[in-house]
Structure 1
Amino acid sequence: MTTNKQRDCKPVVGYGYTSVGGFGQSGLIRKRFAPRLLNASRDLLMNNAGDNIDPFRA
């Protein structure tokens, strides 16, 4: 990605890295997080008011 910032009269270029495959975001969600959430007891995931999922419990 090129930005509008310059250093030494040249545009600054940034590079991002994200993992792919089994360790990428979709792989982790599909293989690890979704099954755990779907198999968890509703009571363990809900907030104290019982009207929403508590992200820290999830």
Structure 2
Amino acid sequence: MADSTAVVIGAMLVAPLLGPIMALGIALLGGRGQSFVAPAFALIEGGCSAAVLDAH
């Protein structure tokens, strides 16, 4: 199961988004509203580009 194609492709799509996900979590838990905007934008941008590249 660990070597299946779906797992490898899913990991390749999620791995670049781990940084913004962690930054978003830290901003939410720390209560810093202004620190929330940049990682949220990066996460949305990365998700959209992954969806566009996957659809192509």
**TM-score, length basis structure 1:** 0.29
**TM-score, length basis structure 2:** 0.29
Q: Higher strand fraction: Structure 1 or Structure 2?
A: 1
Higher relative contact order (CA 8 A, sep 6+): 2
Q: Higher helix fraction: Structure 1 or Structure 2?
A: 2
